[in-house]
A = this chain, B = another copy of it.
């Protein structure tokens, strides 16, 4: 049974690899996991020895099929737990990420299956992130468009909130933006970094960096 540390390392690699081919730098992992670079090198070598990932020294790291499957299972648990916390326990949108971070390592497949059924086999979690299926493991199709990159003046739908840090969640909660919201970009000023959007409930103003964390799709 993999330890929760191992699960966290694999998950960090997974969510940072754009596709199966790309490698993730050890520096990025150190940043993401909050440990020193030396620790990453050590762990990565051990994970590679266990066949969970390939380590290309001074290049980066790539998951093996086995490592990927394991990481995907953890992401699935995380997102189902988040959905449960919000929909059944009525917890606040912005506090569930941290809770799920702990629970994802303690939940058995059996309990997970029950939760999934209770929730009606949801396709995405409260942040709009897709929940990989039990048998069809796949991750993050995603439109690739964000409020920072989309065509202005077109009618959009918020697909996913890409950043789950509490302050950002707090911020967008005030704007009223959430998965499913209808929105249109009114104007975007690359110089000042301001994005002005219109939503059914009013107006929202946000900066370019924030806008990049909100994935949208034309409707």
Contacts and interface: CB of A to CB of B under 8 A. Distances in A.
A91 interface: yes
Q: How large is the interface on A (under 10, 10 to 19, 20 to 34, 35 or more residues)?
A: 10 to 19
Nearest to A115: B89
Contact of A102 (B88, B91, B108, B114): B108
A210 interface: no
Interface of A: 85, 88-91, 95, 99, 102-103, 105-108, 110-111, 114-115, 118
A74 B22 CA distance: 43
B110 A99 contact: yes
Copies of this chain, complex-wide, total: 2
Contacts of A102: 106-108
Contacts of A107: 102-103
A91 B110 contact: yes
Nearest to A118: B89
Given A89-B115, A114-B89, A99 B95 contact: no
Contact of A118 (B88, B99, B105, B106): B88
A179 B90 CA distance: 31
